[in-house]
Chains A and B, each alone.
Chain A
Amino acid sequence: MNSNIGSMPLRYRITIDREQCMECGRCVENCSYGVFRWDGDRILINSRNCTACHRCLTYCPRDAIMLEEHPCDYRSHPVWTRQVRESIYNQARTGKIILAGMGSVADLPIIFDHLMLDACQVTTPPTDPLREPVELRTYLGKKPSKLDIVRKPDGDIELSTKLTPNLMLETPIMLGHMSYGAISLNAQLAMARAAKETGTYMGTGEGGLHTDLYPYQDRMIVQIASGRFGVNVDYLERGAAIELKLGQGAKPGIGGHLPGEKVSAHVSRTRMIPEGSDAISPAPHHDVYGIEDLPQLVNSVKEATGWKKPVFAKIAAVNNNAENVAAIARSGVDAVAIDGFRGGTGAAPRVFRDHVGIPIEVAIATADKELRKQGLRNEVSLIACGSIRESADVAKAIALGADAVYIGTAALVAMGCRVCGNCYQGVCSWGIATQRPNLVARLDPDVASKQVANLIHAWTLEITELMGAAGINSIESLRGNRDRLRGYMLDEGLLEILDVKSVGA
């Protein structure tokens, strides 16, 4: 059907400095979106296809390519913004829900950036991590609230409290759940190797566990989502922990969607679904229609795996987040991952991604507070995720009450991702969010794993330094230690909710 809307103004304009260009054709080879093509011995440009993935710029040996965003102005208007108008044109033409990739683009203040960390001066000395131990080792799982200890007649002490299984992390940074299907096998392999190297764990996402990842299974948290893709008892037994995905920050209240274009033969086998079919997981788990159903699911998963593995639950951060977390803490779950409204995604309806949910900073702070109030804090560990961008975010999330964090987008960026937000198209030029063999082959798992491991290592060092400067030598002493944070230009209501004082106080 035709529309009268015609073509939209260009989002990006690509130009080639013809004096610099040596016509090597690397841009033509590298662009997977079809921006460049040969016309005889001349390279033609179709800027309309550009996603700003920077692949061409990165591989141009002469720096001859230039990219410009929004080269064409609309009449500026504070209400009818470019984005609003373009969404309307798009929907007037298609009548459909608009899909988007990566995290929220809503221009809202970032609370992390308004929280300042503390350091010691003279009344207490800073700890020097080069000379004294600073412990980042983190255990995730249920902890006893008190211990039963028997002192035997010979003076020996015996612990009669039975400890439940915990995951031991060398650093409080984990690699979040991004499924095989949403991302490539090479991307998953790279992260699995990085997790092994840095003593942490990675999530499988809801796409099952590819056989090539079996060597790293003791570093994998296997996910069960509402679609139950790739789930059988063998899958559960391979994981170091099991995560029930009940929600996702990028799209609270709805299920997942993997476009059929990304369901290759291997993805189909790993997910146990037909090749080329859209993988749509339902909004709820159809065996969890209320909180009382959750313990049944948790117990059946634990029973199936011999009570040897911690079971996590992941939820999106929404208004009654604290209530949800407190309910989950009573279900037998060992750790709750809370995904903030800026959480990433391969594909989500734009309206959800940009408009539903609450910030991770608030969600973690209120969850920690509520759990303590109800005496449930040791029942579950808290994992913060959704837009953890740098080591300071990790330290701040922990000071607000998290035990550890998941990073997703940051790990992808470490592998080359330019956050172009077109993951759902399935032709990621970096070989990350694609299943096309020629594109996947661009991502060397050895190289990429080193980069991801470097990132985790660098952040770990920075967190160690931040803790040392604050005179804190173990991560549990930072956890929920909100006195070591100050809010800068945050309003009183928010400061109260975060339980953080203002700068100067």
Chain B
Amino acid sequence: MCGIFGVMDRRRQMMDGSGIRQALSMMNERGSGEGAGYVAYGIYPEYQDCYALHVFFDRACENKAAVDATLEQWGVIEHDEAIPTCDQPNLRVNCTPWRYFFKPDASLAPGSASPEKDIITDLVMQINASVNGAEVVSSGKNVGVFKASGWPEDVADYYRIEDYEGYIWLAHNRYATASPELWGKPDPFNLHDWSVVENGKITTYGANRRYIESFGYNCSTGTDSEVITYLIDLLVRKHGLDIDLAIRALAPPYWEEIDRMPEAKQRLNQALRFAYGSATMNGPFTIVAANPEMMVGFTDRGKLRPMVVGECGDRLYIASEEAAIRAMEPNVESITRPGAGTPVIGRVAP
């Protein structure tokens, strides 16, 4: 099951977390009270040139020194602190959420087209792959992931989510199937620019993971959203595909549809399936992904999971259920349910 929710303001007008909290809890029927998470863009304006690394420490006193040392090898820690939290009676805290505001030293990735992101990618892979009691859960500029094992309201209150203001929010209400106690398990998953929430379970995890790992990504959490985030990062940042083509590569049209396309389009779609056959995702899923410039939603090509889109003024909503959108925006102007194979792409005004 799981319930997902995303909202974006096209003119970067800020929304605090209270509305998202309400929207997500409207879908509690889709969750099991064992995981919820939020991600927001635009929350750290005072550190907007730094990569904000949200890290879960098993024990801060034991694990933090190693992470500090690794970060200092690759750049400068401008500031770090415990993420402010407020104990909740229903939440069993088993880690310490911490945040670093970090500036990577671009000269350490010579020749790269995006040296800072390459360093961040390597750092996240390195820290998350090693058994060091530390897990980086988000690593982008001006963005942060807040997640834990519990009901959405408890998780939101634990992180005091209403204190944050962002122009894009994604949220996830988890129906746990494995490791309900792990705080790192629920979505959103984030790697620098990109964040992903998923409702579903891909049947191609093994094929997708083997494909993405051959490009140096390391899937350490075993979650779908991790592999999806890396795939989007590879296709968009490394392979230079526009997001619409990247989505098309991940959830391509059927051959029958391709056969009916005009020649040039047919060739393009065939080439996408040829090149990205191992990246194609199967099985039921609805994915909402965001980076600082956009929010996108797409489903598996059979559309086995729901995706409802709402619009109201400058705001674009994508959610598992209409009720969630109405919980945040009672006066929503339009509600649509795009068919299978029709992605929703919303961009922030330049």
Q: Are A159 and B275 in contact (CB under 8 A)?
A: no
Chain A residues near B177 (CB-CB < 8 A): 123
Among A133, A157, A472, A477, the residue within 8 A (CB) of B254 is A133
Residue of B nearest to A161 (CB): B271
Residue of A nearest to B204 (CB): A477
Interface: B74 (CB within 8 A): no
Identify the A interface with B (CB < 8 A).
120, 123-125, 127, 132-133, 135, 137, 139, 143-147, 149, 151, 157-159, 161, 163, 166, 372-373, 375, 377-378, 470-474, 476-484
Chain A residues near B275 (CB-CB < 8 A): 143-147, 161, 378
Smallest distance from the beta carbon of A412 to chain B beta carbons, Å?
31
**Of B98-106, B139-147, B150-158, B262-270, which stretch is located at the interface?**
B262-270
Interface: B211 (CB within 8 A): yes
Q: Are B268 and A139 in contact (CB under 8 A)?
A: no
| Besides the known contacts A124-B283, A482-B206, 9 further A-B residue pairs in the complex with CB atoms under 8 A apart | A144-B274, A147-B241, A372-B214, A373-B214, A473-B302, A478-B207, A479-B277, A479-B278, A481-B206
Among A149, A158, A372, A483, the residue within 8 A (CB) of B211 is A372
Chain A residues near B277 (CB-CB < 8 A): 143, 476, 479
Residue of B nearest to A373 (CB): B214
Q: Are B255 and A137 in contact (CB under 8 A)?
A: yes
Q: Are A163 and B211 in contact (CB under 8 A)?
A: no
Q: Are A476 and B264 in contact (CB under 8 A)?
A: no
Q: Are A163 and B242 in contact (CB under 8 A)?
A: no
Known: A139-B274, A144-B275, A372-B214. A125 touches B207 (CB 8 A): no
Q: List 13 A-B contacts (CB under 8 A).
A: A125-B304, A133-B254, A146-B239, A146-B275, A157-B268, A159-B271, A375-B214, A472-B204, A476-B207, A477-B207, A483-B205, A483-B209, A484-B203
Q: Are B203 and A477 in contact (CB under 8 A)?
A: yes
Chain B residues near A482 (CB-CB < 8 A): 206, 210
Chain A residues near B239 (CB-CB < 8 A): 146-147
Q: Are A472 and B256 in contact (CB under 8 A)?
A: no
Chain A residues near B241 (CB-CB < 8 A): 147, 149
The total number of A-B Cβ pairs within 8 Å is 107
Interface: B75 (CB within 8 A): no
Residue of A nearest to B239 (CB): A146
As a 0/1 sequence over residues 272 to 312 of chain B, the CB contacts with chain A under 8 angstroms (1 = contact) are 11110110111110000000000000000110100000000
Residue from the set B204, B264, B268, B278 with the largest chain A CB neighbour count within 10 Å: B204
Q: Are B302 and A132 in contact (CB under 8 A)?
A: yes
Among A137, A147, A479, A484, the residue within 8 A (CB) of B272 is A147
Known: A127-B302, A373-B214. A479 touches B207 (CB 8 A): yes
Chain B residues near A125 (CB-CB < 8 A): 284, 304
- Assembly CA distance A7 to B210 (angstroms): 59
Among B200, B245, B302, the residue within 8 A (CB) of A149 is B245
Among A135, A163, A478, A483, the residue within 8 A (CB) of B274 is A163
Interface: B326 (CB within 8 A): no
Smallest distance from the beta carbon of A306 to chain B beta carbons, Å?
20
Interface: B201 (CB within 8 A): yes
Q: Are A472 and B274 in contact (CB under 8 A)?
A: no
Q: Are A471 and B214 in contact (CB under 8 A)?
A: no
Chain A residues near B272 (CB-CB < 8 A): 147
Smallest distance from the beta carbon of A254 to chain B beta carbons, Å?
35
Residue of B nearest to A372 (CB): B214
- Assembly CA distance A161 to B239 (angstroms): 13
Q: Are B256 and A133 in contact (CB under 8 A)?
A: yes
Smallest distance from the beta carbon of A10 to chain B beta carbons, Å?
52
Among A159, A377, A470, the residue within 8 A (CB) of B268 is A159
- Quick one: which of B225-243 are within 8 Å of A by CB? 239-242
- Assembly CA distance A133 to B275 (angstroms): 21
Residue of A nearest to B304 (CB): A125
Known: A135-B255, A149-B268. A377 touches B203 (CB 8 A): no
Chain B residues near A139 (CB-CB < 8 A): 274
Chain A residues near B254 (CB-CB < 8 A): 133, 135
Smallest distance from the beta carbon of B40 to chain A beta carbons, Å?
29
Among A123, A127, A476, A483, the residue within 8 A (CB) of B280 is A476
Among B209, B280, B284, B302, the residue within 8 A (CB) of A477 is B280
As a 0/1 sequence over residues 299 to 331 of chain B, the CB contacts with chain A under 8 angstroms (1 = contact) are 001101000000000000000000000000000
Among A157, A159, A377, A479, the residue within 8 A (CB) of B214 is A377
Chain A residues near B209 (CB-CB < 8 A): 483
Residue from the set A124, A137, A478, A484 with the largest chain B CB neighbour count within 10 Å: A124
Among B207, B245, B274, B301, the residue within 8 A (CB) of A166 is B274
Smallest distance from the beta carbon of B345 to chain A beta carbons, Å?
14
- Assembly CA distance A377 to B275 (angstroms): 10
- Quick one: which of B186-210 are within 8 Å of A by CB? 200-201, 203-207, 209-210
Chain B residues near A166 (CB-CB < 8 A): 274
